[in-house]
Amino acid sequence: MADVFKLDLDTPTYKGTVSVNTGLFINGKFVDPVEKNPKIDVVNPATGKVITSVSAGSAKDVDVAVEAALKAYKTSWGLKVPGTERGKLLSKLADLIEKNADEFAALESLNVGKPFTVSKNRDVRLTIAVFRYYAGWADKIHGKTIETNENKFAYTRHEPYGVVGQIVPWNFPLSMVSWKLAPALATGNVCVLKPSEITPLTAQKLAGLVNEAGFPPGVVNIINGHGSTVGAAISSHLKIAKVAFTGSTLTGRKIQEASAKSNLKVVSLELGGKSPNIIFEDADFEQAVKWATLGIFSNSGQVCTAGSRIFVQESIYDKFVEAFRKAAETRTTQIGDPFAEETQHGPQVSQIQFDRIMTYIDSAKTEGANIVIGGNRHGGEGFFIQPTVVADCKPEMKIVREEVFGPVAAVIKFKTEEEVIEMANDTSYGLASAVFTENNSRAIRVAHALEAGMTSINCYNVSEINVPFGGYKQSGVGRELGEYALETYTQVKAVHVNLGLRL
């Protein structure tokens, strides 16, 4: 029988008990793995200490989950359940998350290191909103009638794939679960989902609410485990028709390769980024500094859309660097215990991530960039890194070309609009981008020229749940959020009806 983890917390922002079943959630039950694999330690990144341990699944557990999902799809879900009923269950799940919002926020802060106020007011709130949004779409999955001739009737149906495999990352573990589950379930699919082994606790908590919401057993299955075992098994499983992944570009390539070598399952990918944030001399300077600060330091820099390449026009470059340094200095005073009321900046998620970021900072020093502020560990325990501003960067530097995924901004000087567009597009990534200028014609012209799936004008990191999210180039395939996500989880069938054709 799977174990239950419980912890009493008495903090300035949360007082109460958090509890999570640490087993695998398959066919409506928490179960132990088929094989007795070593459990996976879950670490509090603010202290570096182990919180608890969770079960580690294997390919055999994926097999069991897929069979349970297939049975549910054929007997109690899919197109057998009207969209109105699927929507009701998604709404009920959203209500249950809202009822337990504080506990979800506490688990997210404990496991990921996010400030509690951010976890509650952003991550949990948006998770609830995503489930409710797709609950509203569940009975609006429409095909088309297509005119051909009077002797024939043609129409299309948008049908679910069946069993969908989903793999979510560690930086937004709860909200990414909603981005995956909600549109998949709304369109009639059944799911086998793997949370990150680093941050599984909120996914485990959500699994405990699936039955209470009324979903039939097998519709949602959540399997903890390592990417090399559970993730690989999902990617290559012959009975999984589609896989959706958010994470690194390297892993995305492996998933596409596994799909090609198995059953050519449909793959949607939301991958890495090295997003340009372009600030022209005619921008609202104060606002540009504030948005640039949010764009790189939000979530401790652990954001795929982070504005990590900041291009500043030469006439305001020095002024911007100094103002940005002061903003980072203020941010440094807000680092600390995720459960403290004043904390706005948490730790990196793991020792591995901490070490990786520090390696990039060292490379910037070696290549001749100027560390304006930061660049060091903050505090004596945990995985905290100071907000870091790196100036005098050149396009060929490693810190400019590779995704750091931490609170490290590379600031680059530019002269002309044409020059900055070329530099901004000189990357293998194409996820997000931003333009700051008071010239509307220039703003739209540059936004259209940037090779990215998303462009913001005079703002940064303000995605909306009803607007598509995704990238160009090696930043991904397919779109999440909005109506566009429904296309990701449906396949189109054309039906031809003979009304009078004779041979």
- From first to last of its 503 residues, the chain has per-residue pLDDT tens of 679 999 999 999 999 999 999 999 999 999 999 999 899 999 999 999 999 999 999 999 999 999 999 999 999 999 999 999 999 999 999 999 999 999 999 999 999 999 999 999 999 999 999 999 999 999 999 999 999 999 999 999 999 999 999 999 999 999 999 999 999 999 999 999 999 999 999 999 999 999 999 999 999 999 999 999 999 999 999 999 999 999 999 999 999 999 999 999 999 999 999 999 999 999 999 999 999 999 999 999 999 999 999 999 999 999 999 999 999 999 999 999 999 999 999 999 999 999 999 999 999 999 999 999 999 999 999 999 999 999 999 999 999 999 999 999 999 999 999 999 999 999 999 999 999 999 999 999 999 999 999 999 999 989 999 999 999 999 999 999 999 999 999 999 999 999 999 99
Dihedral pair phi/psi, residue 268, rounded to 5°: -115, 140
DSSP reduced 3-state for 73: helix
In this prediction, residue 2 carries a pLDDT of 75
Tokens of 277: 């944030």
| C-alpha neighbours within 13 Å on the C-beta side of residue 163 | 24
Residue whose C-alpha is closest to residue 492's, from 266, 218, 180: 266
The domain defined by 4-21+32-271+478-491 folds into Aldehyde Dehydrogenase; Chain A, domain 1 (3.40.605)
pTM: 0.97
Burial state string for 451-477 with b = 16 or more CB within 10 A and e = fewer than 16: bbbbbbbbebbeeebeebbbbbbbbbb
* Residue extent(s) of CATH 3.40.605.10 domains in the chain: 4-21+32-271+478-491
Q: Please state, as a whole number, how many other Cβ atoms lie within 10 Å of the Cβ of residue 284.
A: 14
Q: Please state, as a whole number, how many other Cβ atoms lie within 10 Å of the Cβ of residue 75.
A: 11
Identity of the amino acid at 203? A
Residue whose C-alpha is closest to residue 52's, from 40, 64, 62, 61: 40
* Residue extent(s) of CATH 3.40.309.10 domains in the chain: 276-463
Identity of the amino acid at 472? Y
Are 344 and 336 within 8 A, CB to CB? no
- Cα 433 from Cα 424, distance rounded (Å): 9
Are 274 and 427 within 8 A, CB to CB? yes
In this prediction, residue 369 carries a pLDDT of 97
- Cα 423 from Cα 269, distance rounded (Å): 25
Give the DSSP H/E element, type plus range, for residue 5: strand 4-10
Are 409 and 324 within 8 A, CB to CB? yes
Q: In angstroms, what CA-CA distances link 369 with 361, 394, 397, 407, 415?
A: 9, 8, 9, 16, 19
Are 447 and 114 within 8 A, CB to CB? no
In this prediction, residue 170 carries a pLDDT of 97
- Cα 441 from Cα 436, distance rounded (Å): 12
Superfamily for domain range 276-463: Aldehyde Dehydrogenase; Chain A, domain 2 (3.40.309.10)
Could you tell me whether strands 220-222 and 434-436 are parallel, antiparallel, or unpaired per DSSP bridges?
A: unpaired
- Cα 427 from Cα 395, distance rounded (Å): 10
Dihedral pair phi/psi, residue 44, rounded to 5°: -80, 110
Active-site residue, selected from the candidate residues 108, 270, 403, 417:
270
In this prediction, residue 1 carries a pLDDT of 60
Write out the E strands in 425-465. 434-436, 456-457
Identity of the amino acid at 221? N
Are 54 and 42 within 8 A, CB to CB? yes
| C-alpha neighbours within 13 Å on the C-beta side of residue 64 | 22
Active site residue 419: no
Dihedral pair phi/psi, residue 383, rounded to 5°: -115, 45
